[in-house]
Amino acid sequence: MAQQPTGSAVRALALEYKSLQEEPVEGFRVKLAREDNLFEWEVAIFGPPETLYQGGYFKAHMKFPPDYPYSPPSIRFLTKVWHPNVYENGDLCISILHPPVDDPQSGELPCERWNPTQNVRTILLSVISLLNEPNTFSPANVDASVMYRRWKDSKGKDKEYENIIRRQVSGGRAEAEKDGVVIPMTLEDYCIKTKVRAPEAALDMTDFYVDDYDLEDDDLEMSGDDEYDDGDDSGNGES
């Protein structure tokens, strides 16, 4: 609330950062912008396979408020992104980063809004899906929005939007090479580091009831090829 970061903010950020380092999530990587500051993160977002963004590498800056997680962070792309929901200066406009308001006109589902149980994971997964499914109800970049709709309405015949995205995606590849980052290109590579996304909620709930949840996790880590095991968590019933 005040200028001073609250105890909650430091605690929540440290916990999330640690967890994302130990168990990276499909589609993005995070690191601190500066070692000694938990409130600014650098994020690398990979374009999801089988979309226009396949093979893309987008860098962004995430800034957390002192009263995180009660208020949402903000995200600014450092990579040039031509997208209906990204401002000229790179600021990302996405509903999950806005507090909920009673506003039937907004055209957004209220469940996408910020609440204190949202976290970096849920935000970045929303960002990845927004990449491919722009919200044209409240565009931050009107030109991009119009162009996107034209592309969409013409079922891909009007290639202006597509071409710009593809150009930016290939620009990202050079950037990734410079950073020594390997961009996951196939669905398999993209998802391999983590649990399959669709059944995740169900799996987590099951895990939640299991008392030896931690034990099970340790087993996975010790098995050494957890990259593959993680994809099918439910099949690992040894513990």
Q: How far apart are CA 210 and CA 115, in angstroms?
A: 27
Q: Return the number of the residue (125 or 181) whose C-beta is nearest another protein.
A: 125
With CB under 8 A as the contact rule, the residue among 33, 49, 67, 231 that binds another protein is: 67
115 in contact with another protein (CB under 8 A): yes
Q: Which of 106, 132, 136, 194 contacts another protein by CB under 8 A?
A: 106
82 lines the binding site for another protein (CB under 8 A): no
Q: Which helix (H) or strand (E) holds 97?
A: none
Contact between 9 and 68 (Cβ < 8 Å) = yes
Contact status: 198 vs another protein (CB under 8 A): no
Single out the residue of 139, 176, 183, 184 in contact with another protein (rule: CB under 8 A). 139
User: Could you say which of 45, 75, 95, 191 contacts another protein (CB under 8 A)?
Assistant: 95
The enclosing H or E element of 40 equals strand 37-46
> What is the 8-class DSSP label of residue 178?
H
Please state the closest distance from residue 14 (CB atom) to another protein, in A: 11
Q: Does 208 bind another protein (CB under 8 A)?
A: yes
* Cβ nearer to another protein, comparing 15 with 174: 15
Output 234-237 pairs: Cβ under 8 A, ≥24 positions apart. 234/199, 234/203, 234/206
Binding segment toward another protein, per CB under 8 A, in 26-34, 47-55, 133-141, 165-173: 133-141
> Is there binding between residue 108 and another protein (CB under 8 A)?
yes
From residue 148, give the alpha-carbon distance in Å to each of 91, 128, 145, 235.
18, 17, 5, 42
Tell me the pairing of strands 28-34 and 37-46: antiparallel
Strands of the sheet with 37-46, listed across from one edge: 28-34, 37-46, 57-63, 74-77
Residue of 104, 141, 100 whose CA lies nearest to 118 = 100
Examine residue 8 and tell whether it contacts another protein (CB under 8 A): yes
Query: Residue 91 has what DSSP assignment?
Result: B
Q: How far is the CB of 34 from another protein (least distance, A)?
A: 22
- Measured CA to CA, the distance from residue 141 to residue 82 in angstroms comes to 8
105 binds another protein (CB under 8 A): yes
Q: Is 93 a catalytic residue?
A: yes
Chosen residue from 47, 55, 56, 69 binding another protein by CB under 8 A:
69
Give catalytic residue positions.
93
Residues that bind another protein (CB under 8 A): 1-3, 6-8, 10-12, 15-16, 19, 65, 67, 69-71, 74, 87-89, 91, 93, 95, 98-108, 110-111, 113-119, 121-122, 137-140, 142, 201, 204-205, 208-209
